Structures are given as structure tokens and as C-alpha cells.
Amino acid sequence: MGSAGEKAHLPKDFLWGFATASYQIEGAIKEDGRGESIWDTFCRIPGKIADGSSGETACDSYHRYKEDVALLKQVGAMAYRFSISWSRVIPLGGREDPINEKGIQYYENLVDELLANDIEPMITLFHWDLPQALHDRYGGFLNQEEYVKDYCHFSRVMFKALGSKVKKWITYNEPWCSSILGYNVGQFAPGHTSDRKKNPIGDGSREPWKVGHSILISHGAAVKIYREEFKPSQGGTIGITLNGDWVEPWDETDQKDIEACERKLEFSISWFADPIYKGHYPESMRKQLGDRLPTFTSDEIALVQGSNDFYGMNHYTADYIKHLDSEPEPDNFNGNLETHKTNKSGHAIGPETQSPWLCPNPPGFRKLIKWISDRYGRPTIYVTENGTSLKGENDKTKDEILEDDFRVEYFQGYITAMAEAFTFDNVDVRGYMAWSLMDNFEWAEGYETRFGVTFVDYEGGQKRYPKKSAKEIGNIFRNLIES
């Protein structure tokens, strides 16, 4: 704990900025040699995207990256986290396939523009948009041996092209989403699921665990390449970004609900973080999943354990957790429990937003970042995404949308909670990237949901208008960062 009367604050070298992802903002999906990704394919399937849209134009950042950087500069951002479209760089994705120089040039231009404006680039190599050709060729993540080699090749291409200028690398964004939403629920590309009403293909009881394993091995392999071949001359750092929600027991007097909370955290966060920090999967997962959860060879453990220079944390919300007494279904992925937004006494975990899964609960952020810090030996943490949608935001006029007081309040609460974790809980948090720099293609929710601190006028040629939150976030940080 801090000394009496000590105020919550952040370290003076704290890095803050905004985050985006390639498929959500770039557009230009057929331009300059870009190949198809699994999201291009998925968006064409009727009924998969809420408004029937796609990332075809999105925010047109492929043509407007200078505007994006000017926007970052205008709001005082110190850093910008963005992702690489693998199929823009290697259209067919594979290690023997041609490299698209125009694709690499786009990212070089973006990095140069950021550096010219004193904004630090933070690159995510993979944010869900697998090249469709690799999915067609051998099943993508489901073929670990082939996939790991192709991902390593792609990573090496990017380290070589940009590593002299980029010092912060993230291997994957939210592998839980790629695995569970892509191969169990079927809500995200490629849409595999055991539910035959949704998709003729998929086995939700086995595929997600194989996908997660492939991602972990390829993460470890790419980190090894970076550390051995690039870090000595480039001097950067590399880690993975994992998502997780805070949890509270549905009935705080029920020991089984309390235990279920821990299980939920293990099934979502520790699934990936335990192998990296402890060298094995959580016992709770092994117990429930048995031989459906892959086992690590000694070589794989050597790759994966210790493969984080920092922990990338994406966080948005909290849930109440209620245990189930029944045996887990084969497709269960959360530790055999129910998640609720209200508890036994009917108390809501937080206010409603446009996203049914998202109810703000800032104290939960402080608790979760401490839980991660305690479990994994106080790693350096970068919060790589945090933000909110607003209920009915898309139905308002432009002027109303620009007055996003709810989002300002969200950032105030969450950033303060993070500062409290730093000041009073001994959490080593070094950076924070708000989600998102601008409204964009919100995956299965299409353009019906806005997460941006900047209004994007999709009807009016993708023009950008900073909302109140874009201007206020800098003030929040200025008040918390030690001068």
C-alpha cells in the first residue's frame, strides 16, 4: 500500500495512446495486391454480420493514414497500436509464396509518419485476419506444423522490414477469440462450430483447444526468432495480448460460485498465460477437458515458457459467475458455469452499453490487473485495449455523438483504477492504449456499434470528427502521470 494520503498516479515515462486493427479500419481489400483473409470470406456469408457489411471500405485508413496520424497528434497521443494485414504483405500467406512489396510499403509509410510526429508505433502481427489461402490449403491453425512455419516466416518478414524503427511487438491479439469465437461459438471467422444450424463444419469440443495450442507454439517460435535474430541489433520487446473480464460470484455466500470465478479466469486468461509463465495448462482445464486439451512436448515448453517480455492486457467489463452442478457439456469452454450481468439480489454489474457483453465496472479492472500481476510474478503490463460502446450511439445525430460523456466517464473510471493498481497494489503497468482511435468495423456487429473516440462519417466519405472523449483522455493522463 502507498503512504497515508498518497494519491493514485502513473509513472512519468508512462506511454498512452490508441489502438486499432487492420481489418477494422484499412479498407482497400482488393487494392495493391492484397490477398483475401478469412474475414473477407466470412463477411460474404448472409447473416454473419449484423448489418450485412464488411471491411471493404471501413475507415479507408489505407488511403487516409496521414489523417489518422494527424488525429493522434491532435489529441496528444504518445503511442499507436495497429495491426498488420498478413494477406496484404504475403497475399497467399505461405513461406514459399510471393511477398507483396506494396503491402510492406504501406506499413513502412505509416511507421515513418508516426515517428515523424513523435508517436511510438506498437505493432500487432496478428489480429484475427488469417490469409484465406492458408485456411484453404491446410486448415490454418488446425494444422500446427504447417501453420507455425508460415507464421514464423511472416513474423520474420515484418521484423526485417520494420524492426529497426519499431520497438514494441505483439504476436497475437486475443487468441481466446480466434479459438473460441472462431472454432466453438462460430460467431467469428471462419465460423466453425458443432451447431449444424450455423455451420456444416466444426467440432467445438476439440478444435478450439487445437487452435489455441497452435497459436501458443507459433507465438513462442516467433519470439525465439525475434530474440535470437533481431533483438540484439534492434533492441525491442515482444509479448502477446490476452483478453479477460473480471468476475464476481453470483451468490457471494456460495463457495461453489467463488470457486467458479477462479475457474472462469483460468479458462479465459490462464489458458494462454499459464503455459507462458508457468510452463503448463491450468489444472482446472486439464481436469474438465482431459485428452481434448493438447499436451506440450518438452521442445514446445522450451519455446513457450518465458516467451513474454511484457504482458499485453485487453479488458472491458465484468461478470457475475454462477456455478453449474451438472456435468460439463462437450462443447463447454468456460469451466462449466454461467455468466450473468446481475447477481442473486438483482444488482447489475454495471450500466448497459450497445454491446450486450459490456457493462462498465472500473473496480473490476483494478482487481483483475492485480490478479494477473500476482499470478504471474509481477510482469510488465501494457493495457493494449480498453474502451466502451454507448447504448444507441449510432441512432443519434452527429452533434449528439460528439458529446460522448458516458465514454469520458468510462475512461476516467478505468484509467484511475489502473493508476490505483500501480500506486497501491504494486502492479508494474507501463502503458495504455484506448480502444479505439475511431469508429470502425466492429466484426460481427458491423457498423451498428461504435467504439471510437472519433466519429467516422461513413455516409460522408469517412471523414473524422473527434468526440469529447478524444480530447478528454489526454487531460485524464496529464492529471495522473507524475511530472
Kindly tell me the burial class for residue 122, based on how many C-beta atoms sit within 10 Å of its own C-beta (0-12, 13-18, 19 or more). Answer: buried
pLDDT score recorded for residue 3: 57
pLDDT score recorded for residue 4: 62
| DSSP at 99 | P
Given 248, 385, 442, 472, which residue is catalytic? Answer: 385
Mean pLDDT on 186-207: 98
d(CA 383, CA 369) in angstroms, rounded, equals 9
All three cell numbers of 102, joined, read: 506494396
pLDDT score recorded for residue 5: 76
Mean residue pLDDT of the chain comes to 98
Strand partners, 454: 466
pLDDT score recorded for residue 482: 83
d(CA 477, CA 468) in angstroms, rounded, equals 15
Note whether residue 4 is domain-resident: no
Long-range contacts of 7-10 (CB under 8 A, 24+ apart): 7/423, 8/416, 8/419, 8/420, 8/422, 8/423, 8/424, 8/480, 9/419, 9/422, 9/423, 9/480, 9/481, 9/482, 10/418, 10/419, 10/422, 10/429, 10/477, 10/480, 10/481, 10/482
The number of CA neighbours under 13 Å toward the Cβ of 304 is: 26
Split into its structural domains, the chain has a count of 1
All three cell numbers of 69, joined, read: 496520424
User: CA separation (Å) from 113 to 63, 105, 333, 415, 435?
Assistant: 13, 12, 42, 28, 21
Note whether residue 1 is domain-resident: no
Mean pLDDT on 23-27: 98
Note whether residue 2 is domain-resident: no
Note whether residue 8 is domain-resident: no
For the chain, give the percent of residues with pLDDT over 70: 99
User: Among residues 405, 411, 219, which one has the least CA distance to residue 315?
Assistant: 411
> What does pTM read for this prediction?
0.98
Crossing angle between the packed helical segments 101-116 and 144-162, to the nearest 10 degrees: 50
pLDDT confidence bin for 197, thresholds 50/70/90 = very high
- Chain segment 410-453, per-residue pLDDT in tens: 999 999 999 999 999 999 999 999 999 999 999 999 999 999 99
Note whether residue 63 is domain-resident: yes
| DSSP at 443 | G
User: Got the DSSP string for 120-180?
Assistant: EEEEEEESS--BHHHHHHH-GGGSHHHHHHHHHHHHHHHHHHHTTT--EEEEEE-HHIIII
Whether residue 338 lies in the annotated active site:
no
Q: Tell me: pLDDT of 120 over 60.
A: yes
All three cell numbers of 213, joined, read: 495450442
pLDDT score recorded for residue 1: 46
Given 26, 36, 113, 174, which residue is catalytic? Answer: 174
Note whether residue 333 is domain-resident: yes
pLDDT confidence bin for 125, thresholds 50/70/90 = very high
Domain with residue 462: its CATH number is 3.20.20.80
Whether residue 229 lies in the annotated active site:
no
- Chain segment 132-147, per-residue pLDDT in tens: 999 999 999 999 999 9
- What is the residue range of 446's domain? 15-480
Mean pLDDT on 76-87: 99
Note whether residue 6 is domain-resident: no
Mean pLDDT on 451-478: 97
Mean pLDDT on 194-223: 98
pLDDT confidence bin for 85, thresholds 50/70/90 = very high
For β-strands 429-435 and 120-126, DSSP reports them as unpaired
Note whether residue 171 is domain-resident: yes
